[in-house]
Amino acid sequence: MLPERLIPPAKKISGLLTMLSFVLSLPILASVIWLFYMKNYDCEDILRLPRYQIGVCVGLILAFVISNGGLLLRGKFPMPGLIVVMVPLMVMMTMGLGLMGAYQMESKSIPASPRWLELKVEDDNNWNRIKACIFERGVCDDAMLRGVQVIRTFPSVQSGCCRPPASCGMEKVNGTVWEKQKEIRVEGGDKDCDLWKNERKMLCYDCQACRKGFLTTLESKWWKLGLFLALITLFLILSHLLLFFAAMWERYSAS
């Protein structure tokens, strides 16, 4: 084994970049564990998103294996190793940007993208099933036990489905019972104000605020995943490119 001072600089840099690429790939495994054990939101299964979530997990595992497999190829086959690694990384980048809705590049064909989610929730057939599911899961049940002082801390679904919009100027009596103040005029004539009912089976399930709250909840989850995929892929692409240049430097400096 050569003393450290006799190890060529190119080999040192190549070794450090190999270690860096491996370390940067570890968050991919962490995200897989997070997705496998993350609790799905209520009624998310109606849009078959849990299945898609499992598919993403499988894809990330393959990307992790290929990324680290490329590290083994880079010594003997720098260019093929780089190409093999870049293909799944570019797919990950595209998926991440699609989930974020960046540059409007996503379309209705990309599951869980903002546009895809919007079209699914706007579909009346889907929404009728989601609406029934929200009631059956008792999403609004704990709203009856909360006071006015904490109503603003509700998740988006509860805030949109379990109480009337704040613009309606209704006064909370108890639980989910609200009284409309006749002297208060609603600016813009919010139709949700007329759709609100104090009956437990109705509440604001027919309101646009309910749809928006459900959509916001899903968008937040998948946007965060998209951001993670885009960032970690960017770092991995840069590290593998630098590793490729270092491998070529090491090869030609040794010759």
Mean per-residue pLDDT over the chain, rounded: 79
Average pLDDT over residues 116-136: 91
pLDDT (0 to 100) of residue 166: 82
pLDDT at residue 255 above 80?
A: no
Q: If 0-12 CB within 10 Å is exposed, 13-18 middle and 19+ buried, where does residue 237 land?
A: middle
- How far apart are the C-alpha atoms of 176 and 164, rounded to whole Å? 9
pLDDT, tens only, 79-91: 887 888 888 889 8
Kindly state the average pLDDT of the residues 183-188: 51
Q: Radius of gyration over alpha carbons of the chain, in Å?
A: 26
Q: Is 227 exposed, middle or buried (0-12, 13-18, 19+ CB in 10 A)?
A: middle
Range 116-141 average pLDDT: 90
Alpha helices in the chain (DSSP H): 9-37, 49-73, 78-100, 114-122, 124-136, 156-161, 192-195, 208-254
How far is it, in rounded angstroms, from Cα 154 to Cα 83? 47
